[in-house]
């Protein structure tokens, strides 16, 4: 009986770990995409601001 219980617990733990790992990977990927999108937006905004200042003839501190 103990062996059966051990096997069941092992199987459950394995399944839970798999699910948790999958969820973590998904979250990390999602966060990565979000961060990439955000940094892209920020870079785009900064570039736009720089262009705006250049058009105005103002010097931009690098």
Alpha carbon distance 12, 60 (integer Å): 60
Query: CA-CA-CA-CA torsion for 23, 26, 32, 34, nearest 10 degrees?
Result: -100
How much is the pLDDT for 57? 61
Q: Quote the pLDDT of residue 61.
A: 52
pLDDT in tens, 11-58: 999 999 999 999 999 999 999 889 888 888 888 888 887 777 766 665
- DSSP assignment of 1-58 equals -HHHHHHHHHHHHHHHHHHHHHHHHHHHHHHHHHHHHHHHHHHHHHHHHHHHHHHHT-
DSSP 61: -
Name the pTM for this structure: 0.49
Exposure on the CB side of residue 48, measured as CA atoms within 13 A: 6
């Amino acid at each position: 009986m103990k062996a059966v219980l051990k096997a069941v617990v092992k199987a459950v733990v394995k399944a839970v770990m798999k699910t948790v790992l999958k969820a973590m990977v998904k979250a990390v990927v999602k966060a990565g995409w979000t961060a990439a999108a955000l940094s892209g937006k920020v870079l785009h905004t900064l570039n736009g601001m720089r262009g705006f200042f250049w058009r105005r003839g103002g010097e931009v501190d690098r």
